Homo-oligomer: A and B are copies of this chain.
Amino acid sequence: MKKEIAKLMDFRSDVRVIDATMRDGGLVNDFYFTDEFVKDLYFANIRAGVDYMEFGYKASRELFDENKYGKWKFCKDEDIRAVVGDNASDLKIAVMADVGRTNLNDILPKEESPIDLIRVATYLHTIPGAVKMIEDAAAKGYETTCNIMAISNARESDTMAALEMLAQTPAECLYIVDSYGALYPEQMARVADRFLEVAAKYNKKVGIHAHNNQQLAFANTIEAVGDGVDWLDATYATMGRGAGNCAMELLLGFLKNPKYNVYPVIQFIDKHMTQLKKDGIIWGYDLQYLMTGLLNQHPRTAIAFTKEGRKDYTQFYKELVVQDD
């Protein structure tokens, strides 16, 4: 069904914009952001009217070596507090916690922490683990949401069963994550319908986290918001793993709520993102990501291609299509 004209001109106040630059972008530079970058991003988000800023992961220090990653892989409360103080702003603070890669003891009671929202990320085969983490975080006083990753190769029956389980937790928002950047907007609309059907039953919200393998991260995000999806992830200059994400500067240009303002985003990109690219940090749409997206594959081969500085696209395509499935 076409969106009503009025909906294109007006806005829905339930929409929330989540800046995932440091979390998904951290996967590109191993979370080594300068303190100036983080501070400037925090203030840019406040000025831009962004609703949540995701600082990174709460990753287990038993699984990941603290000497091999920047501090935002772990998001200790004191590191966040060094940036935001008491966070006297409307911007809320989020971190991501992966099922199976998080030590729940690292998540302190909410009253001791600057964090507002714990975003639990799960695959379809680890839903009970996600349920446990959501309940733990909610019991500690946090807002919670849940990201279901790699949705493009999930069977709908499995997705529906997972949604039913997650909708009965305290998680306030269930996220569609197109990890492989494989969905077309028409398919996204259908996935959103499934999520919205369950969400309506349990009074939950639906979110979207898109990847740009086929230059569709923004298109899929605005398709979804038109369908009734409320929580929208974006990153500055699309910074994120592989082909990157929905660009914050595109999304804020599209959203009509006057609380959003694209200008601070442009200023931040001008000051910091251009420099990151100059420093040799590589992300964003390129042919190798198109190929894995098209083939509905995890982008790990394309990321390796990029890291090795390869440019032999033809050879890479051959490797992808002749490999045994």
Contacts and interface: CB of A to CB of B under 8 A. Distances in A.
B250 A290 contact: yes
Given A212-B215, A214-B218, 7 more contacts: A1-B2, A184-B222, A186-B222, A186-B226, A215-B215, A249-B287, A269-B313
B274 A215 contact: no
Contacts of A249: 287, 290
Nearest to A3: B186
Contacts of A197: none
B266 A314 contact: yes
Interface in A215-234: 215-219, 222-223, 226
A245 to B, nearest CB: 11
Given A267-B314, A290-B250, A8 B187 contact: yes
A266 B317 CA distance: 8
Contact of A287 (B5, B217, B266, B312): B266
A100 interface: no
Nearest to A254: B184
A247 interface: yes
Interface in A192-244: 212, 214-219, 222-223, 226
A74 to B, nearest CB: 32
User: Closest 8 CB pairs between A and B?
Assistant: A219-B219, A253-B294, A270-B313, A270-B314, A267-B314, A266-B317, A215-B218, A215-B215
A216 B218 contact: yes
Contact of A253 (B226, B290, B311, B313): B290
A189 interface: yes
A274 B5 CA distance: 42
Interface in A284-314: 287, 290-291, 294, 311-314
